[in-house]
Amino acid sequence: MADPRCSRVLVTGGAGFIGRRVVRALLEIGAEVTVADKQPFPDGAVRGEFRTVLGDLRDPGVAARALDPGTDAVVHLAAVTSVLRSVADPAGTYDVNVALTENLLELARKHETRTFLFASTNAVVGDVGRNVITEQTPMRPMTPYGATKAAAEMLLSCYTACYGVNACALRFSNVYGPGMAAKDSFVPRLMRAARCGGGVDVYGDGHQLRDLVHIDDVVGGVLAAWRADWTGPLIVAAGRSDSVNDLVAAARRVTGAPIPARHVPAKQGEMPAVLVDIATARALGYQPAYDLGSGLATVWPEFADGTVADGTAASVADGAAAGHGSAAPVGAEAAK
């Protein structure tokens, strides 16, 4: 078993939403951390010392400085993360999500880095209707985002088989939690609506099912895969799906705001359900702890009073997404 506590670890995309929480957890357990990101790590986001490499990891010099000899593990989070952006720019998405990943895997091989943990997505399987997604579900991605994550998973597989790198593709469902002020996914939209007394638009009847996983559960999944030296895909999710209507209702309970919902026609391609099986991760010791109520309660405070606990700036766009029709409806990007 690997021991993250005594490891030198590189976190790419460490200044991002998930990255900041991963870095915090790694410092807490005593790991020696390098953060590589093209944006600076927000001041005050974590306690503790770590090395930073600031720059675009597509630059081979930046990547080489980040993943240097003696690195035991990589948590590779840097990516084009927006499905919509990936559709607008498939080639650019390939450069970041595939070519950059290949370069890091190559450095890992050269330096005999033991562990490579890659942030993937259940979007690699595409639309499976109401079928439950497992690690065995065939990959049929429907967007450049999903396709580039699937391609990177194939590279990971070969680096495990040929070179013995313990490479794991962590397939996250929709992640939410503290630190979302700069995001435009449906949880922050609901929070902004609550704060500004606005409402939200919901695609269709709102009965579509989504798996929302809390960021601290995601961190637990990363550590469980690492400790187990897991290779191949691993679904890290809540393991329970709630409807978009349930989500709106939970946000009303947690915030105390009415958040009126207006139902608008569903987009083409809106998935009826995302249902995932987390039995494999559970067998490695992964234990998601949050339900929607307890999870949203960790998100609301930074929106309620505009202070952001982890050092990110409160979004200047706050409020822009609050009124009816002023933002993409709730349910968008649900295939992440």
Ligand X SMILES: NC(=O)c1ccc[n+]([C@@H]2O[C@H](COP(=O)([O-])OP(=O)(O)OC[C@H]3O[C@@H](n4cnc5c(N)ncnc54)[C@H](O)[C@@H]3O)[C@@H](O)[C@H]2O)c1
Q: Whose Cβ is closer to ligand X: residue 82's or residue 157's? A: 82
As a whole number of angstroms, the distance between CA 86 and CA 152 comes to 15
Residue 141 binding ligand X, by CB under 6 A: no
**Under rule CB under 6 A, how many of the chain's residues touch ligand X?**
24
In this chain, which residue has its C-beta nearest to ligand X? 16
Q: Which of 24, 33, 37, 290 binds ligand X (CB under 6 A)?
A: 37
Residue 16 binding ligand X, by CB under 6 A: yes
Q: Which residues touch 105 (CB under 8 Å, ≥6 apart)? A: 116, 155, 156, 159, 165, 167
As a whole number of angstroms, the distance between CA 215 and CA 212 comes to 9
Residue 19 binding ligand X, by CB under 6 A: yes
Of 42-50, 77-85, 191-199, 244-252, which segment contacts ligand X by CB under 6 A? Answer: 77-85
Of 10-18, 155-163, 274-282, 322-330, which segment contacts ligand X by CB under 6 A? Answer: 10-18
Residues 49-68, mask of contacts with ligand X (x by CB under 6 A): -------xxx----------
Near ligand X in 160-179, by CB under 6 A: 172, 174-175
- Both structure tokens of 109: 């091989």
Q: What are phi and psi of 46, to 5 degrees?
A: -140, 160
> What's the closest the beta carbon of residue 215 comes to ligand X, in angstroms?
8
Minimal CA–CA distance to 120: which of 235, 10, 270, 290? 235
Residue 78 binding ligand X, by CB under 6 A: yes
Residues 231-270, mask of contacts with ligand X (x by CB under 6 A): ----------------------------------------
Q: Whose Cβ is closer to ligand X: residue 116's or residue 172's? A: 172
Residue 211 binding ligand X, by CB under 6 A: no
Given the rule CB under 6 A, which residues bind ligand X? 13, 15-19, 37-39, 56-58, 77-79, 81, 96, 100, 119, 121, 172, 174-175, 336
